[in-house]
């Protein structure tokens, strides 16, 4: 599926974000902007708030102070539009282990199809083949390795035409081939004018637009 996104399809901003957990400030006075062609990697020690920030940016958590804006509109005022333009993958595989990969993918893609995305059964099988699950389509996921289960969830990236990806440790449990596939997918997403926000201990390379946001005592943003 060829990728190409409109030049103004991504405009996500955070202004003066503050978030606390258990009476501890995770981050404060945090500003960021994500536009078409951006790759933003969140970094910092465990407990710095990387996953929390991702969930805030995905619109899944409103426990914060400050402003989150999508095309200059408050995120909570335009969430339906925003959700149709972003895909969020959490740090878990987010699949049903009793189902097979093809059954999981049908379930995972059903909200997008209900929203009007035209997909055929062959598209789902091709997505699983792309993540090297050919021959495992009808195997219950509880019989697959952790890496294979991760691939089932990641196969959505081959199908969802969203300009913004928000990914929490997507390289976890992947082997060398899986890592290579995901790196290439991220590069294609950014080159096509999309944007990616990611947490990962994996060293991302080869993308000029890569920026890092360091979370910790003080959040700082800069280019790698």
Q: Give per-residue pLDDT as tens, 10-21.
A: 999 999 999 998
For residue 56, give the 3-state DSSP assignment. helix
Enclosing H/E stretch for 208? none
pLDDT(206) > 80: no
pLDDT(224) > 50: no
d(CA 43, CA 57) in angstroms, rounded, equals 15
Q: pLDDT band for position 8 (50/70/90)?
A: very high
**pLDDT for 99:** 98
Together in a domain, 28 and 131: no
Looking at 160, 191, 213, the residue that finishes a domain is 160
User: Across the chain, how many H-helices and E-strands are there?
Assistant: 6, 10
Answer yes or no: pTM beyond 0.95.
no
d(CA 10, CA 22) in angstroms, rounded, equals 33
pLDDT(221) > 70: no
d(CA 129, CA 6) in angstroms, rounded, equals 28
Residue 1 lies in a domain: no
Residue 140 lies in a domain: yes
Together in a domain, 45 and 145: no
Residue 12 lies in a domain: no
d(CA 185, CA 183) in angstroms, rounded, equals 5
**pLDDT for 87:** 97
Q: How many domains are contained in the chain?
A: 2
**pLDDT for 222:** 54
d(CA 43, CA 213) in angstroms, rounded, equals 6
Q: Give per-residue pLDDT as tens, 79-94.
A: 999 999 999 999 999 9
Together in a domain, 48 and 61: yes
Q: Give per-residue pLDDT as tens, 87-114.
A: 999 999 999 999 999 999 999 999 999 9
Kindly provide the residue ranges of all beta strands, DSSP E only, lying in the chain, ordered along the sequence: 11-21, 24-35, 39-43, 65-70, 73-74, 86-89, 164-168, 195-199, 210-214, 220-223
pLDDT(144) > 90: yes
Average pLDDT for 27-39 = 96
pLDDT(217) > 90: no
Residue 9 lies in a domain: no
Q: Which two tokens stand for residue 215?
A: 């979370």
Together in a domain, 155 and 211: no
């Amino acid at each position: 599926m060829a990728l190409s996104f409109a030049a103004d399809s991504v405009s996500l901003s955070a202004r003066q974000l503050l978030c606390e957990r258990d009476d501890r400030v995770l981050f404060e006075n945090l500003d960021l902007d994500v536009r078409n062609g951006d790759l933003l990697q969140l970094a910092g020690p465990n407990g710095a708030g990387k996953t929390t920030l991702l969930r805030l940016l995905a619109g899944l958590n409103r426990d914060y102070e400050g402003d989150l804006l999508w095309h200059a509109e408050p995120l909570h005022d335009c969430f339906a539009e925003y959700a149709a333009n972003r895909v969020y993958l959490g740090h878990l595989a987010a699949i049903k282990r009793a189902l097979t990969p093809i059954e999981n993918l049908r379930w995972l893609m059903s909200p997008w199809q209900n929203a009007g995305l035209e997909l055929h059964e062959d598209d789902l099988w091709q997505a699983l083949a792309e993540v090297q699950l050919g021959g495992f389509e009808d195997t219950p996921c509880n019989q697959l390795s952790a890496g294979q289960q991760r691939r089932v969830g990641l196969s959505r990236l081959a199908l969802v035409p969203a300009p913004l990806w928000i990914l929490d440790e997507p390289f976890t449990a992947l082997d060398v081939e899986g890592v290579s596939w995901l790196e290439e997918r991220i590069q294609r997403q950014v080159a096509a004018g999309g944007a990616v926000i990611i947490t990962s201990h994996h060293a991302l390379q080869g993308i000029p637009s890569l920026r890092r946001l360091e979370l910790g005592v003080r959040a700082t943003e800069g280019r790698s």
